[in-house]
Structure 1
Amino acid sequence: MSDSPRSQLKQILAERYAYLVRRLERVTGSKERASDALHETWLRLENANVSAQVANADAYILGMANNVAIDQHRRERRHLHDDDVETLLEVPDELANPERIVAARRKVEALKDALRGLTPRRRDILLAARVDGLLNREIAERFGISLRLVESELSAAMKHCMQCMQDMGDTFPGSKGGPRKF
């Protein structure tokens, strides 16, 4: 080997390999990971641009190996995440059985029918409140009506929709209220 700083670092890594593995094992948590990090460090030293003598070769090599270990850990985490996603995609969706899908579609159609049975203003107020998430005072401003009238129309629209859904044979326990900001 020539006496270049890079070749000296590689020689020190080879000579002090067991010591460096033990030191790096404290950081990585396993002898295998420490060894892998040092092997990768050896390969990186091959292309490293070390122009001057290194004062503390052990610290330089351990610092470089520590960075390699961090990079390896990040790659492993990313791959574990991808594996987890693949595993989750293989889990069958028990909620998406044909009966539930058909029932949900019927509910949607019944709700559409209920909305068609509302006056245009009531329908618009209900949609503004429940779909657009507007506050009652914002709805009042939009339609140029009083806050009390918005509350009355909204209440009547909700009662109408609930009654239509119940007539269809569907009950919505606990669905009278929802997240509303007044």
Structure 2
Amino acid sequence: MADSTRVQLRKLLASRYAYLVRRLERVTGSKDGAADALHETWLRLENANVTTQVANADAYILGMANNVAIDQHRRERRHLHDDDVETLMEVPDELADPARIVEARRKVEALKDVLRGLTPRRRAILIAARVDGLLNREIAEQFGISLRLVESELSAALKYCLQRVQEAGDAYPGSRSGPRKF
């Protein structure tokens, strides 16, 4: 990549940092993950080897940062093995008391009721995305539908669930995303 193009891309990344973080936040599921991906992108831009002029610098940077985020996600997934999971499951929960357990079970049952209100395909897509952690692209391939339809179904399912949970009076102030980062 020509030095002038590299400098221009780095300047653009710096000047549009907040915008790029917001865009990547949708992909990574967290602001910190998006910031980490952009920082790594900044470093990778120094060694990027593209000899042509970049037509759409925002798209180039976002694509590069998206690839970085996917790489980071895959690295993180590799570090947690079945033995680690079993060890973590054996750690006693010092905060577990009967009232919290009953409340948690009630919330799980309420969520199951909400999920039963979804169409079978929507429910399967939501579970594949938020429980199994599959990428939208993987879900589209699995169901034999377009990526856009997966995004639409997932959005509708999340809106439906949020509305039903709020109607029931259960507000979940924390994250609404599952273990999935993409």
Higher RCO (C-alpha under 8 Å, 6+ residues apart): 2
Greater Cα radius of gyration, structure 1 or 2? 1
- TM-score, length-normalised on structure 2? 0.46
- TM-score, length-normalised on structure 1? 0.46
